[in-house]
């Protein structure tokens, strides 16, 4: 009884079906969470981690309905018997997309919204709003409209609105999936402070593990609605490493692949471990990845050529300044840069959706910058940030046929081919709006690829995807590039760019800052580098990806460990 009384949450034999679902979203879950703990819930898309978060927040089954079995206790009382208002005072939840959580037009009113719902007196509301605004440093934004805030500021505001209700527990469901890396980092630092300095109990559901693995006291891993691993970050990292390691940070994955028993989860720990092993060694030889790959395709007419191009928005903001750029067939180009650097604008101009103010945009030698409103449609495929922008037909097949029909083309087997290749063949007759977000994105991709375009342009396609889906997308796009198409994408995900792209462009404030082969650009950057790159800096230069690190450092290290093990005996 003594131990049970300590647990803040206690879940016993939980099973849950969403309304109309045949498969349970959660099943056989037994879990206890103690006060003040920082619990990271990891797992692939569809593993039930978001559903678990909603159970803990009291939204399942209250808000969703469905069939529910087992018991969930909060502070020793069965959750379904707790008054909703009381529960909301104790448990706060932040969701994925800040855009879909803000209700009011003004910042201050938004923070007060939950307090009004709780029916607090005016004086108490004043105090709490003031406290939260000062704690989160939102004073400057107090009078702003929510619509004018950046993504990171919006998510901070959502957090403020929840914190004002002074909950004991904070449940975060992929809170940074829609944010850029810098804003995400800020957000996690804040969450860490809330846990360490304010004693909040934190339950964080995440896919981008390299940023939060080390913050947690405990890592719970889910698969197909079940908890398959529950332990300290170290234990869970080792467990996941044994299962292929897609859920753990690249650093831990690297050491696990080399057969180490203790797995570092941060760059700092990893480098310490490397330093100990390499003391007195200098690395030489091995393949140098920084050497630019031969490109037999130069000299031909580029797929897209942008010459001294400028673009100014109607409000006078110069979004692009003097851009020069060529993309050849067979290239896989990743464009990196912070928000507002002009990346999306550049993409839109490349596909002809926007007309440049000055300069030329050549598509296979034809200038498209002048023909207003005309777009080189079928030669180019464009995927916007939101796959939902594509989906409105009754079935997946109709989505593909819609594009074909608009260009007056026939289905010559391309539909079968694409559905097969993108692994959505089984959903041919399904309404695309019934699919998961990863599947929706693949339908959107298929709907623009039916014209066999020579250039693929994608705006932040990796946003919100888990490791597995990202890997699938990356190899699909790399395959397209290898088959002779040009691929250009904007991403915030350096790891993704390093793994799959051949060339990297960095943008800052409307200009191209650097452009070259990926090892040349990312290998020289301190901040825009991969976790593996940061780990190996100084030990072996030009290493960016897990595979390269294994290839170059792996043999040396394993030799070394064997030698050590020998001397120890």
Partner 1 sequence: MLDKLFYKEKGLFLQSLHPLAALAYLGTLLALALAVTNPLYLLGILLVVALAIRAADGLEAWESYLKIALFMMVLIMIINPLVVHAGKTIIWHGPRVPVFGRLTISLEAICYGAAMGVRLLDIISVFCLYNLMVHPDKALNLFSRFAGKSVLVISLATRMFPAMIRELESIRGVQQMRGVDFGNGSTKEKVRKYSSLVNILLLSSLEGSLEIAESMQARAFGSGPRTCYTRNLWRPRDVLCLSGSAGAMGAGIWGLLHSFGSYTYYPQLDYLISGPGTVAVLLIVVLCLSVPVIIDWGWRRWHYLKSKI
Residue 504 interacting with partner 1 (CB under 8 A): no
Which of 275, 370, 429, 433 touches partner 1 (CB under 8 A)? 433
Binding window for partner 1 (CB under 8 A); candidates: 8-16, 210-218, 370-378, 524-532: 370-378
Residue 389 interacting with partner 1 (CB under 8 A): yes
Of 239, 172, 234, nearest to 207 by C-alpha is: 172
Nearer to partner 1, 144 or 269 (CB): 144
Residues 154-183 that bind partner 1 (CB under 8 A): 158, 161-162, 165
Tokens read off for 304: 């897209």
Residues 435-454 that bind partner 1 (CB under 8 A): 447-448, 451
Backbone angles phi, psi at 370, to 5 degrees: -95, -30
| Tokens 């309404």 found at | 431
Residues 206-245 that bind partner 1 (CB under 8 A): none
Nearer to partner 1, 87 or 252 (CB): 87
Tokens read off for 307: 């010459």
Residue 430 interacting with partner 1 (CB under 8 A): no
Q: How many residues bind to partner 1 according to rule CB under 8 A?
A: 73
Residue 133 interacting with partner 1 (CB under 8 A): no
- Rounded to whole angstroms, the Cα distance separating 444 from 449 reads 9
Per-position x/- string for 43-82, each x denoting binding to partner 1 as judged by CB under 8 A, each - no binding: --------------x-x--xx-------------------
Which of 13, 30, 117, 139 touches partner 1 (CB under 8 A)? 117
- Rounded to whole angstroms, the Cα distance separating 439 from 396 reads 10
Give buried/exposed letters for 21-30 (b at 16+ CB in 10 A, else e).
Answer: eeebbbbebe
Residues 29-48 that bind partner 1 (CB under 8 A): none
| Tokens 């099943």 found at | 27
Strand partners, 457: 382, 488
To partner 1, the closest distance from the beta carbon of 231 in angstroms equals 29
Q: Where is 268: in which H helix or E strand?
A: helix 267-278
Nearer to partner 1, 283 or 353 (CB): 353
Which of 16, 38, 73, 95 touches partner 1 (CB under 8 A)? 95
To partner 1, the closest distance from the beta carbon of 226 in angstroms equals 24
Compute the residue count for the chain. 569
Q: Is 248 exposed, middle or buried (0-12, 13-18, 19+ CB in 10 A)?
A: buried
Nearer to partner 1, 109 or 257 (CB): 109
Residue 392 interacting with partner 1 (CB under 8 A): yes
Residue 488 interacting with partner 1 (CB under 8 A): no
Which of 29, 40, 72, 120 touches partner 1 (CB under 8 A)? 120
To partner 1, the closest distance from the beta carbon of 403 in angstroms equals 5
To partner 1, the closest distance from the beta carbon of 20 in angstroms equals 15
Binding window for partner 1 (CB under 8 A); candidates: 67-75, 239-247, 287-295, 384-392: 384-392
DSSP summary character for residue 353: S
Per-position x/- string for 255-294, each x denoting binding to partner 1 as judged by CB under 8 A, each - no binding: ----------------------------------------
CA 313 vs CA 1, 321, 351: distances in Å:
66, 12, 17
- Rounded to whole angstroms, the Cα distance separating 132 from 277 reads 47
Tokens read off for 256: 């696990």
To partner 1, the closest distance from the beta carbon of 392 in angstroms equals 4
CA angle 387–58–154, rounded 5-degree value = 45
Residue 402 interacting with partner 1 (CB under 8 A): yes
| Tokens 């502070």 found at | 75
- Rounded to whole angstroms, the Cα distance separating 327 from 345 reads 16
Q: Do residues 493 and 177 touch, judged by C-beta distance below 8 A?
A: no
| Tokens 């409105």 found at | 392
Nearer to partner 1, 447 or 530 (CB): 447
Per-position x/- string for 307-346, each x denoting binding to partner 1 as judged by CB under 8 A, each - no binding: -------xx-------------------------------
- Rounded to whole angstroms, the Cα distance separating 475 from 463 reads 16
Nearer to partner 1, 55 or 550 (CB): 55
To partner 1, the closest distance from the beta carbon of 388 in angstroms equals 5
To partner 1, the closest distance from the beta carbon of 541 in angstroms equals 41
Of 467, 473, 474, nearest to 210 by C-alpha is: 467
Which of 388, 395, 525, 558 touches partner 1 (CB under 8 A)? 388
Binding window for partner 1 (CB under 8 A); candidates: 256-264, 279-287, 373-381, 487-495: 373-381
Task: Name 223's Cβ contacts closer than 8 Å, sequence gap at least 6.
Answer: 43, 44, 47
Residue 19 interacting with partner 1 (CB under 8 A): no
CA 107 vs CA 137, 148, 173, 199, 484: distances in Å:
13, 10, 22, 26, 49
CA torsion, ordered 486, 484, 514, 358, to nearest 10 deg: -40
Which of 18, 61, 82, 118 touches partner 1 (CB under 8 A)? 118
Tokens read off for 286: 């091995």
């Amino acid at each position: 009884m003594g131990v049970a009384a300590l647990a803040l949450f206690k879940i016993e034999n939980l099973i849950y079906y969403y309304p109309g679902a045949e498969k349970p979203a959660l099943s056989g879950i037994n879990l206890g969470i103690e006060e003040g703990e920082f619990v990271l819930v990891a797992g692939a898309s569809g593993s039930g981690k978001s559903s678990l978060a909603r159970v803990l927040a009291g939204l399942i089954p209250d808000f969703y309905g469905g069939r529910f079995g087992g018991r969930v206790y909060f502070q020793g009382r069965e959750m379904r018997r707790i008054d909703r208002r009381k529960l909301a005072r104790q448990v706060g939840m932040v969701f994925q997309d800040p855009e879909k959580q803000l209700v009011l037009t003004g910042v201050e009113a938004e923070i007060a919204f939950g307090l009004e719902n709780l029916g607090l007196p005016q004086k108490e509301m004043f105090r709490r709003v003031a406290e939260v605004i000062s704690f989160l440093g939102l004073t400057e934004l107090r009078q702003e409209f929510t619509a004018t805030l950046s993504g990171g500021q919006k998510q901070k505001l959502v957090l403020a609105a929840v914190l004002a209700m002074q909950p004991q527990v904070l449940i975060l469901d992929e809170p940074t999936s829609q944010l850029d890396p810098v804003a995400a980092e800020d957000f996690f630092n804040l969450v860490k402070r809330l846990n360490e300095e304010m004693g909040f109990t934190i339950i964080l559901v995440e896919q981008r593990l390299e940023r939060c693995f080390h913050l947690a006291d405990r890592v719970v891993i889910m698969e197909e609605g079940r908890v398959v691993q529950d332990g300290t970050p170290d234990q869970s990292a080792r467990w996941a490493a044994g299962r292929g390691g897609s859920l753990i940070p690249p650093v831990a994955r690297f050491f696990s692949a080399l057969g180490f028993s203790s797995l570092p989860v941060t760059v700092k720990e990893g480098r310490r471990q490397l330093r100990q092993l390499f003391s007195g060694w200098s690395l030489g030889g091995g393949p140098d990845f920084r050497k630019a790959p031969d490109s037999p395709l130069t000299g031909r007419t580029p797929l897209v050529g942008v010459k001294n191009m400028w673009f100014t928005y109607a409000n006078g903001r110069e979004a692009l300044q003097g851009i020069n750029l060529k993309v050849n067939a067979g290239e896989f180009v990743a464009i990196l840069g912070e928000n507002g650097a002009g990346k999306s604008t550049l993409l839109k101009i490349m596909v002809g959706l926007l007309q440049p103010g000055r300069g030329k945009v050549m598509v296979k030698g034809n200038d498209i910058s002048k023909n207003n409103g005309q777009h080189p449609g079928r030669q180019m495929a464009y995927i916007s940030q939101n796959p939902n922008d594509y989906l409105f037909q009754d079935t997946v097949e109709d989505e593909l046929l819609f594009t074909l029909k608009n260009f007056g083309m026939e289905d010559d087997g391309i539909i079968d081919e694409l559905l097969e290749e993108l692994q959505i063949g089984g959903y041919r007759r399904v309404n695309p709006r019934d699919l998961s977000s990863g599947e929706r994105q693949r339908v959107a991709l298929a709907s623009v690829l039916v014209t066999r375009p020579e250039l693929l342009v994608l705006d932040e396609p990796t946003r919100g995807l888990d490791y597995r889906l990202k890997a699938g997308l990356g190899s699909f796009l790399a395959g397209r590039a290898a088959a002779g198409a040009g691929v250009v994408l904007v991403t915030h995900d350096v790891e993704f760019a390093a793994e799959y792209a051949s060339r990297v462009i960095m943008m800052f404030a409307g200009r191209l800052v650097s452009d070259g082969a990926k090892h040349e650009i990312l290998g020289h950057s301190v901040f825009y580098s991969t976790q593996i790159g940061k780990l190996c800096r100084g030990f072996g230069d030009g290493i960016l990806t897990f595979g390269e690190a294994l290839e170059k450092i792996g043999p040396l290290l394993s030799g070394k460990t064997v030698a050590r093990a020998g001397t120890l005996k």
